[in-house]
């Protein structure tokens, strides 16, 4: 599905809930967000109608997001049904991992290809502060369960905040050196809690790479599986580390250099190659994380729209996709929406 800047849009992120069991500072305010009444959330049957129409236009990848998607009952069956649609190449998931420990194997058996896990620190007190109450060990148990279930490659996403968790940079890189995971460092975006964007919190992707280069060898590599915007590097510590990160019940199994990704939406925007759409839990289809507008697919479905009309509305959203997101100024998004409301 091509649009006005000749980008190919073939990837739909589907938020299935606006609820979350964490309150991460870069995602929402301390009090959370105003949750939608249950009747305003798309049913799974409605999600599948959108997915079928999107596939007819050339979308072949889906990512299930939230809030925290594993909070919603029936997610395993939804993933199986999405994966069975003709032409779908893969279904993936973004999660904070807290519920993944007992669900990873079922998700894999349902056809889930990969999982991205949010993990911003390996220090329990820092993790708890960023997530406002999360338990690091539970998140790490979810990471282990994903590895053991074969959801590979497991990608660990860390939003870096200066003076908060940037001291974890090397330890997180060592996680990718000691275990078969990919760690991706993400620049802070002007969404979520304004307190998280106070002076000094922003750290550029290039600054992070420069710090890693001082600690070891760093060289660019090709993209790893997936359609994300990260620029990847191999990193090898200059000297054997005095200690390694520990995962519950799983010993280090290093086989080579760490694979590190950097996502720099502010300093190095990737809008020219953006291939994604976002469907919110309330049924709004957005072509850009930060842009105004959107197409109300829930209203259309509940007024009786069929596949052809939904496909036309999706094409309309693609036509609205702006040339750039406009977040490079660091000013809050004009939409006022929190990251959790958009599915990330």
CATH number at residue 41: 3.20.20.70
How far CA 32 is from CA of 197, 198, 231, 278, 319, in Å, comes to: 17, 19, 31, 21, 32
Q: For residue 6, is it within any domain?
A: no
What pLDDT shows up at residue 135? 98
In this model, does residue 287 exceed pLDDT 70?
yes
| Cα–Cα distance for residue pair 55/224, rounded to 1 Å | 24
What pLDDT shows up at residue 28? 81
What pLDDT shows up at residue 326? 58
Q: What's the domain count of the chain?
A: 1
Confidence of residue 191 (pLDDT cuts 50, 70, 90): low
- What's the whole-number average pLDDT of the chain? 89
What is the average pLDDT across 292-311?
94
* Domain that includes residue 143, residue range: 11-342
User: 255: which 2 tokens?
Assistant: 């086989």
Confidence of residue 90 (pLDDT cuts 50, 70, 90): very high
What pLDDT shows up at residue 332? 46
What pLDDT shows up at residue 229? 85
Confidence of residue 52 (pLDDT cuts 50, 70, 90): very high
pLDDT digits (tens, 9 = 90+) for 121-167: 999 999 999 999 999 999 999 999 999 999 999 999 999 999 999 99
| Cα–Cα distance for residue pair 251/229, rounded to 1 Å | 30
What is the average pLDDT across 204-218?
96
What pLDDT shows up at residue 2? 56
What pLDDT shows up at residue 190? 77
What is the average pLDDT across 37-58?
97
In this model, does residue 177 exceed pLDDT 60?
yes
What is the average pLDDT across 111-118?
98
What is the average pLDDT across 304-321?
94
What is the average pLDDT across 2-14?
77
% of the chain with per-residue pLDDT over 90: 71
User: 173: which 2 tokens?
Assistant: 């890189």
| Cα–Cα distance for residue pair 303/143, rounded to 1 Å | 42
Distance of CA 221 to the CA centre of its chain: 21
What pLDDT shows up at residue 64? 98
How far CA 307 is from CA of 55, 126, 314, 329, in Å, comes to: 11, 47, 10, 39
Q: For residue 1, is it within any domain?
A: no
Q: For residue 281, is it within any domain?
A: yes
- 192 contact partners, CB below 8 Å, separation of at least 6: 24, 25, 26, 27, 28, 29, 338, 339, 340
Q: Where is 13: in which H helix or E strand? A: strand 11-15
What is the average pLDDT across 20-44?
88
What is the average pLDDT across 41-52?
98
What is the average pLDDT across 10-24?
96
- 243 contact partners, CB below 8 Å, separation of at least 6: none
For CA atoms 338, 290, 38, 81, give the dihedral sign: negative
Confidence of residue 216 (pLDDT cuts 50, 70, 90): very high
In this model, does residue 84 exceed pLDDT 90?
yes
| Cα–Cα distance for residue pair 294/167, rounded to 1 Å | 38
Confidence of residue 31 (pLDDT cuts 50, 70, 90): confident
In this model, does residue 309 exceed pLDDT 60?
yes
Phi–psi pair at 153, nearest 5 degrees: -80, 140
With tokens 């990919």, the residue in question is 182
How far CA 182 is from CA of 138, 159, 173, in Å, comes to: 19, 14, 9
| Cα–Cα distance for residue pair 332/342, rounded to 1 Å | 15
How far CA 170 is from CA of 47, 241, 284, in Å, comes to: 40, 10, 39
- Weakest-pLDDT range from 89-103, 244-258, 297-311: 244-258
pTM: 0.92
């Amino acid at each position: 599905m091509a649009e006005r800047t000749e980008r190919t849009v073939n990837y739909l992120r589907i938020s299935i809930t606006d609820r979350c069991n964490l309150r991460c500072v870069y995602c929402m305010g301390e009090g959370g967000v105003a949750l939608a009444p249950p009747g305003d959330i798309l049913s799974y049957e409605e999600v599948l109608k959108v997915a079928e129409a999107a596939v007819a236009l050339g979308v072949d990848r889906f990512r299930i997001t939230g809030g925290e998607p594993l909070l919603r009952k029936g997610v395993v069956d939804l993933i199986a049904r999405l994966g069975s649609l003709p032409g779908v190449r893969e279904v993936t998931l973004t999660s904070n991992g807290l519920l993944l420990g007992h669900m990873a194997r079922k998700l894999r058996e349902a056809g889930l290809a990969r999982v991205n896990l949010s993990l911003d620190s390996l220090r329990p007190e820092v993790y708890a502060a960023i997530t406002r109450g999360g338990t690091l060990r539970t998140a790490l148990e979810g990471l282990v369960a994903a590895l053991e279930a074969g959801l590979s490659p497991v990608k660990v996403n860390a939003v870096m905040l200066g003076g908060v968790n940037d001291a974890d940079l090397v330890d997180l890189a060592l996680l990718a050196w000691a275990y078969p995971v990919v760690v991706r460092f993400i620049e802070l975006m002007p969404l979520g809690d304004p307190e998280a964007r106070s002076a000094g919190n922003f750290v550029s992707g290039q600054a992070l790479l420069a710090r890693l280069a001082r600690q070891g060898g760093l060289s660019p590599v090709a993209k790893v599986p997936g359609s994300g915007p990260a620029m990847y590097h191999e990193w090898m510590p200059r000297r054997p580390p005095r200690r390694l990160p520990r995962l519950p019940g799983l010993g280090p199994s290093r086989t080579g250099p760490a694979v590190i990704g950097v996502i720099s939406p502010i300093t190095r925007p990737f809008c020219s190659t953006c291939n994604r759409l976002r469907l919110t839990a309330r049924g709004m289809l957005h072509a850009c994380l930060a842009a105004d507008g959107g197409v109300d697919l829930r209203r259309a479905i509940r007024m009786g729209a069929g596949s052809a009309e939904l496909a036309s509305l999706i094409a309309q959203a693609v036509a609205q996709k702006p040339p750039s997101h406009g977040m490079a100024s660091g000013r809050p998004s004009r939409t006022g929406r929190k990251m959790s409301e958009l599915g990330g």
